């Protein structure tokens, strides 16, 4: 333990240390001005100190240091805002409320924290001011900078944010690289934290003693996404996503940055159960959002990824009136609300990857009667799900956005998927100064603005949005509940393409990394277990069902072709039955990268659902049913790996059986390698 942390322990929180002129070196150190605050249950403590003009924060958990003294500040275009600081004041505030999610992993969420605001001022130059606000929860910490209005600084041009995260305990990290071409679509690496170069968030850490920490951000609004570069040892530093103009962020004062978040838990499942990211976002700004419908959908989609049909028009065109009508029929017969159709509009015939200038979002191709199909679906209670692939031609898309969304609203296409297919760093932006196009990153300030614009325009027309190749999720669904889901990781599509497909470990890793940020449109449920040219998907049949419970999203696709579902009616029953909106969610057990078991209670019935998946190792997992309502008898419909199930050699070994259980019972889940299990519990 450092001298700094020892001294901090002696302090009462919150406090503002005063400069005392005393002789011994130890006491001199204690005179460093500081302020601190503890979480409501006194589990976490955050301290900010200014030493030699540098502001640093530190996080402790039950007395142990989790984040060692870590620097705060900025490099501005016209001067550094990370030195010559003094503390001019500090204040604390308690907050405790329970709010209701319109849809989500749980209905009621408690937002309980103690807040510390520290006001800093530089002692030199223009005597610039910067506030740091900490919200300390029992399960983590959020902090952000506030640039207050001040003379001589009308606008901040931020060249870099200098926030550090010096992880104190020796840790293993699960991470994906940042600054690479395919955004967030990498397999997670598991390495010592000391070997991470430049990573996206959420990044998940586990210390040798089993403490779990995830670093991410909340409320990424009009700012650049935060990447993390390791500078030395276990010290990470913010590196903001670039902008074409050289600076990272440009904002008029006053403004606040996104929250930098640390979720901290002694069990892996604690990270997943934490609502910290949502709590740090602003409340619902849209009012009544009963028009946002959690639901399941089918698609005119997988056949194109299998390369059996095409987005382009011609003999292989998938999005035809006749073919779509059949999928609508299948959706209606099986209780699906939505049918996603890709390739419905002009623009797919040429080379659209990284080039969206041919896309027209306001009319359909001649062989796709969008008016008739919408009306046909409406009669059957099925809504078309819209699709806008932009090919990263952002201004071209924004020019059409209003008219495109008006069309959807008029036709009852009340949700749509967007797409941003191009290499990262190659997003097109019209040059405000004329001249050649500018190139942006998928999570720079420009795209943060773009995504929010689409979400707001959609909300004005009561439409829900699901971006692929998106900016990362930072919990903005709380403020804009029509931002229902997104991709933002390697999804099922990689299993169609192969080379290589997603190994079983990937979906377990997602739960403890990507999913901490929010819902994912992973598109599970490929019961054929086959990608392109018959290539095997690394999964057992039961596992495909478990994914609906394990990978949360309020919109869930049944990604496979209708004819494949007809070949697996037993398993398909679970996809038809599984809920998508939850009263409660709990992680019963799990380890990052190894396995996970999650249970969720349906918001619209008393049913519970269980999903469990493992990596490439088979597992026997005892599960207590104590989460069920006491004294109630349930029918448990169990969809499990059959004897000898193995994703490599025997993926279709599958069993469906029914038992009667109560909360006093326990079950033993037997998962094959790459396997899973799904259970529906219905009160009798």
Binding site for ligand NOJ (CB under 6 A): 342, 389, 419, 421, 468, 487, 493
Instruction: Kindly calculate the radius of gyration of the chain based on its CA atoms and give it in whole angstroms.
Output: 26
Closest approach of ligand NOJ to the CB of residue 38, in Å? 44
d(CA 482, CA 15): 42
> How far, CA to CA in Å, does 684 sit from each of 576, 635, 658, 681?
20, 6, 12, 9
**CA angle centred on 631, ends 630 and 634, rounded to 5°:** 90
CB 73 within 8 A of CB 80: yes
> How far, CA to CA in Å, does 196 sit from each of 37, 227, 233, 311, 505?
31, 12, 10, 39, 19
Closest approach of ligand NOJ to the CB of residue 454, in Å? 15
b/e per residue, 454-464, with b = 16+ CB within 10 A?
bbebbbebbbb
Q: Which CB atom, from 310 or from 682, has the smaller least distance to ligand NOJ?
A: 310
d(CA 683, CA 579): 15
Closest approach of ligand NOJ to the CB of residue 117, in Å? 41
Sign of CA dihedral 554, 184, 276, 73: negative
CB 114 within 8 A of CB 96: no
**CA angle centred on 36, ends 30 and 41, rounded to 5°:** 130
Closest CA to 273 of 484, 66, 582: 582
Instruction: Supply 189's token pair.
Output: 């690496």
Q: Which CB atom, from 342 or from 428, has the smaller least distance to ligand NOJ?
A: 342
Residue count, binding to Ca ion (CB under 5 A): 1
- Measured in degrees and rounded to the nearest 5, phi and psi for residue 386 equal -75, 165
Closest approach of Ca ion to the CB of residue 490, in Å? 8
DSSP assignment string, 248-314: SEEEESSEEPPEEEEEEESSHHHHHH--HHHHTSPP-SSS--TT---EEEEEE-HHHHTTSSBSSSS
Q: Which CB atom, from 25 or from 314, has the smaller least distance to ligand NOJ?
A: 314
Q: Which CB atom, from 196 or from 492, has the smaller least distance to ligand NOJ?
A: 492
Q: Which CB atom, from 259 or from 420, has the smaller least distance to Ca ion?
A: 420
Give catalytic residue positions: 493
Q: How many CA atoms lie within 13 A of 573 on its CB side?
A: 11
CB 263 within 8 A of CB 280: no
Question: How many C-beta atoms lie closer than 10 Å to residue 369's C-beta?
Answer: 17
Closest approach of Ca ion to the CB of residue 489, in Å? 9
- Measured in degrees and rounded to the nearest 5, phi and psi for residue 274 equal -70, 135
d(CA 305, CA 560): 11
Q: Which CB atom, from 450 or from 468, has the smaller least distance to Ca ion?
A: 468
DSSP 359: -
Q: Which CB atom, from 60 or from 517, has the smaller least distance to ligand NOJ?
A: 517
Which residue matches tokens 């011609």? Answer: 314
615 binds, among ligand NOJ, Ca ion, none (CB under 5 to 8 A by kind): none
Beta strand pairing status for 676-683 and 108-122? unpaired
Closest CA to 367 of 405, 325, 327: 325
Closest approach of ligand NOJ to the CB of residue 568, in Å? 22
Beta strand pairing status for 464-467 and 415-419? parallel
What are the percentages of helix, strand and coil residues in the chain, rounded to 5?
20, 35, 45
Q: Which CB atom, from 135 or from 387, has the smaller least distance to ligand NOJ?
A: 387
Q: Which CB atom, from 13 or from 176, has the smaller least distance to ligand NOJ?
A: 176
342 binds, among Ca ion, ligand NOJ, none (CB under 5 to 8 A by kind): ligand NOJ
Closest approach of ligand NOJ to the CB of residue 389, in Å? 4
CB 598 within 8 A of CB 611: yes
3-state secondary structure 397-455: HHHHHHHHHHHHHHHCCCEEEEECCCCCCCEEECCCCCCCCEEECCCCHHHHHHHHHHH
Closest approach of Ca ion to the CB of residue 468, in Å? 5
Closest approach of ligand NOJ to the CB of residue 554, in Å? 18
Closest approach of ligand NOJ to the CB of residue 229, in Å? 28
Q: Which CB atom, from 214 or from 394, has the smaller least distance to ligand NOJ?
A: 394
Q: Segment 557-596, which members bind Ca ion (CB under 5 A)? A: none
Closest CA to 678 of 599, 560, 617: 599
Q: Which CB atom, from 303 or from 614, has the smaller least distance to Ca ion?
A: 303
Q: Segment 416-475, which members bind Ca ion (CB under 5 A)? A: 468
Q: Which CB atom, from 48 or from 306, has the smaller least distance to ligand NOJ?
A: 306
581 binds, among Ca ion, ligand NOJ, none (CB under 5 to 8 A by kind): none
Closest approach of ligand NOJ to the CB of residue 182, in Å? 11
Closest approach of ligand NOJ to the CB of residue 467, in Å? 10
419 binds, among Ca ion, ligand NOJ, none (CB under 5 to 8 A by kind): ligand NOJ
By CB under 5 A, name the binding residues for Ca ion.
468
């Amino acid at each position: 333990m450092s001298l700094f942390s020892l001294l901090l322990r002696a302090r009462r929180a919150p406090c503002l240390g005063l400069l005392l002129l005393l002789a011994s070196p130890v006491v001199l150190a204690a005179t460093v001005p500081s302020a601190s605050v503890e979480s409501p249950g006194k589990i976490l403590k955050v301290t900010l100190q200014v030493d030699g003009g540098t502001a640093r924060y530190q996080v402790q958990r039950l007395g142990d240091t989790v984040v060692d003294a870590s620097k705060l500040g900025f490099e501005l275009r016209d001067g550094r805002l990370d030195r010559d600081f003094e503390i001019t004041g500090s204040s604390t505030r308690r907050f405790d409320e329970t709010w209701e999610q319109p849809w989500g992993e749980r209905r009621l969420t408690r937002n309980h924290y103690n807040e510390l605001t520290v006001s800093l001022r530089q002692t030199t130059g223009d005597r610039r001011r910067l506030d740091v606000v900490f919200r300390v929860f029992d399960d983590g910490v959020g902090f952000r900078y506030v640039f207050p209005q001040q003379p001589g600084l009308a606008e901040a041009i931020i060249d870099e944010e200098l926030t550090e995260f010096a992880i104190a305990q020796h840790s293993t990290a699960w991470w994906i690289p940042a600054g690479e071409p395919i955004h967030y679509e990498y397999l997670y690496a598991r390495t010592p934290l000391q070997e991470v170069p430049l990573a996206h968030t959420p990044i998940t850490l586990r210390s040798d003693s089993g403490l779990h920490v995830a670093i991410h951000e909340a409320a990424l609004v009009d700012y650049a996404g935060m990447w993390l570069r390791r500078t030395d040892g276990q010290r990470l530093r913010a590196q903001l996503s670039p902008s074409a103009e050289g600076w990272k962020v440009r904002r008029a004062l006053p403004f606040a940055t996104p929250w930098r978040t640390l979720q901290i838990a002694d069990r892996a499942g604690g990270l997943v159960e934490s609502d910290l990211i949502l709590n740090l976002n602003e409340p619902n700004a849209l009012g009544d959002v009963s028009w946002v419908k959690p639901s399941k959908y089918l698609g005119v989609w997988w056949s194109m990824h299998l390369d059996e049909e095409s987005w382009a028009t011609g003999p292989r065109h998938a999005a035809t009136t006749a073919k779509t009508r059949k999928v609508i029929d299948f959706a209606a017969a099986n209780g699906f609300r939505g049918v996603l159709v890709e390739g419905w509009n002009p623009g797919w015939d040429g080379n659209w990857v990284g080039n969206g200038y041919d896309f027209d979002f306001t009319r359909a191709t001649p062989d796709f009667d969008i008016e008739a199909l919408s009306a046909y679906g409406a009669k059957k209670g099925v809504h078309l799900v819209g699709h806008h692939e932009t090919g990263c031609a952002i201004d071209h898309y924004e020019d059409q956005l209003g008219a495109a969304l008006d069309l959807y609203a008029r036709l009852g296409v009340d949700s749509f998927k967007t797409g941003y297919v191009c290499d990262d760093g190659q997003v097109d932006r019209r040059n405000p100064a004329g001249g050649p196009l500018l190139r942006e990153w998928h999570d720079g300030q420009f795209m943060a603005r773009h995504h929010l614009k689409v979400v707001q325009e959609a909300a004005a027309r009561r439409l829900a949005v699901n971006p692929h190749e998106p900016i990362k999720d930072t919990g903005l669904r709380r403020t804009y509940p029509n931002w229902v889901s997104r991709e933002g990781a390697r999804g099922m599509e990689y299993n169609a393409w192969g080379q290589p497909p997603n190994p079983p470990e990937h979906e377990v890793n997602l739960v403890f990394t990507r999913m901490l940020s929010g819902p994912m449109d992973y598109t599970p449920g490929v019961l054929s277990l086959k990608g392109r040219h018959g290539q095997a998907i690394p999964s057992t049949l039961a596992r495909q069902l478990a994914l609906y419970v394990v990978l949360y999203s309020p919109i869930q696709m049944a990604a496979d072709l209708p004819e494949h579902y007809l070949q697996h009616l037993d398993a398909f029953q679970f996809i038809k039955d599984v809920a998508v909106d939850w009263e409660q969610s709990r992680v019963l057990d799990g380890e990052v990268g190894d396995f996970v078991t999650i249970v969720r209670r349906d918001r619209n019935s008393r049913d519970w659902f269980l999903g469990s998946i493992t990596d490439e190792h088979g597992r026997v997992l005892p599960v207590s049913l104590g989460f069920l309502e006491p004294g109630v008898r349930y029918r448990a419909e169990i969809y499990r790996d059959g004897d000898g199930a193995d994703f490599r050699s025997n993926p279709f070994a599958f069993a469906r059986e029914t038992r009667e259980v109560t909360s006093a019972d326990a079950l033993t889940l037997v998962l094959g390698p790459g396997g899973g299990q799904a259970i529906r519990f219905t009160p009798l």
